[in-house]
Structure 1
Amino acid sequence: MSTLAALPGWVLDHHAAVLLALGEHVQLSLAALLAGGGAAVLLGLLGAGRPRLAEATITLAGVLRTLPSLAVLAALLPLLGVGFAPSFVALSILAVPPVLVGLVTGLRLADPAALDAAAGMGMTRTQRLFRVSLPLAAPLLLEGFRTASVQVVSGAALASFIGGGGLGDLVTAGVALLDLPRLLTGAIAIALLALLADLGLGLLARRVAP
């Protein structure tokens, strides 16, 4: 109880370090989510209307999902060294599977009647994809981004092991120094960031539901 009571005071005394770690964490998470999500959307659109390619992308997503983040970070060390770059690549890979699965599933579940009506109006395959299928798939796509955001924000804590910065630095330093307020500050901030990302994208997904 005394540690929790002293936590606000510790944060105020070390607010510069906390804000720096928070900024690094948000920057890394956002960059990885946009890069990984963008790659997943591109793969999903390439597989639209191509069953074999769609199955291949789903298989790829399954393989990527089984890769532990820490193992990917370790594998990237000889290639990219330490710091932002390997952390960014590893987290981008982590973001691909949920976004890809959400998009592919949403495209598959698009209302056939709407697609037939669009074809009857003379729309090309590409027009049907972007004007009908993709808007109908948007809620599931955003749900994929929602899942990916939580995984990326949480996984970014591991970036501290290879010098990637972020709130994970507070956690690892707290463990190494037996500094419980420092450890709790990092852990609570990571949990709150993940919760905000989940709530924000969940609300957006509900707003765009057809």
Structure 2
Amino acid sequence: MTQAFIDYFARNGTKYGLAAAQHFFISIAALALACAVALPAGIVCARTKRLRAAITGVFATLRIIPSLAVLLLCIPVLGTGMQPAVIALAFLAIPPILINATVAFSSIPLPVLETARGMGMSARRVFFLIKAPLALPLTLAGFKTAAIEVIASATLAAYIGGGGLGTIIFTGLGLMRTELLLIGGVSVALFSVAADCLLSFMENRVSLSLFGK
């Protein structure tokens, strides 16, 4: 088995690098798109209870839809390739980011905000100096959840021609080659673990700087 791994990387090192780069790009692009939608929506939802209940309810329901189903449903509208894969994965990443951002901004203690306003701080300064820092740890936790889900689900992008490490896994399935399954699967697992470690470190550093714990 070890020799099979060596032979694969000797012959397909460039293809593996391309697949890993595609997987990384798809994941980052999907998370960036999800943040662009979910963070402003979460801030708005935190201000209105009715809107909060409606929107978070809808996106909480979306979380139970299987990743592959979301990807396949996008094909009739968006076609195949990397772009529809990014959009489909963004839909999977929006719920945890949106829900955590909504909870984070809506749970800021009212006395803290009243004290800031009493000191003469403008709404803009209150948001950037008080609300955003206090909401950051919980929002980061939602982003971490979304990142791990997207990295794992990005393997399915190969089903719709999006590339990534999923191509290695599905090739291994088709050819019944265990080494390809292990190479693709372990690579995705390492990507997920690396993302979890990095974001957990950032989350801990933010919590330590804000709350001293």
**Band the TM-score falls in, shorter-chain normalisation:** over 0.9
**Match status 1:109 vs 2:107:** yes
The code of the aligned residue for 1:169 comes to T
Q: Distance in 1 between matches of 2:3 and 2:201?
A: 33
Of 198, 201, 205, which residue of structure 2 is paired with 1:200?
Answer: 198
Q: Distance in 2 between matches of 1:124 and 1:55?
A: 28
Q: Distance in 2 between matches of 1:19 and 1:77?
A: 27
**Structure 1: which 5+ runs fail to align?**
none
Q: How far 1:43 sits from its partner (Å)?
A: 0.4
Q: How far 1:123 sits from its partner (Å)?
A: 2.9
Task: State the match for 2:68 in structure 1.
Answer: 70
Residue-by-residue CA offset, 1:74-108 (whole Å, 9 max, x unaligned): 11111111111221111000110111111111112
CA RMSD of aligned residues (A): 1.5
Residues 1-210 of structure 1 correspond to what in structure 2 (within 5 A)? 3-4=1-2, 6-209=4-207, 210=210
Q: Is the 8 A contact 1:11 1:18 kept in 2?
A: yes
Q: Is the 8 A contact 2:147 2:195 kept in 1?
A: yes
Q: Distance in 1 between matches of 2:33 and 2:112?
A: 31
Tell which deviates more after alignment, 157-166 or 108-117. 108-117
SS at match of 1:14: helix
Q: Distance in 2 between matches of 1:130 and 1:58?
A: 24
Q: Distance in 2 between matches of 1:101 and 1:8?
A: 44
Structure 1 residues 158 and 42: alpha-carbon distance in aligned structure 2, compared to 1, 3 A threshold: same
**Structure 2: which 5+ runs fail to align?**
none
Q: Distance in 2 between matches of 1:158 and 1:148?
A: 16
Q: How far 1:67 sits from its partner (Å)?
A: 1.8
Q: Distance in 2 between matches of 1:8 and 1:110?
A: 54
The code of the aligned residue for 1:43 comes to A
Q: Is the 8 A contact 1:58 1:101 kept in 2?
A: yes
SS at match of 1:183: helix
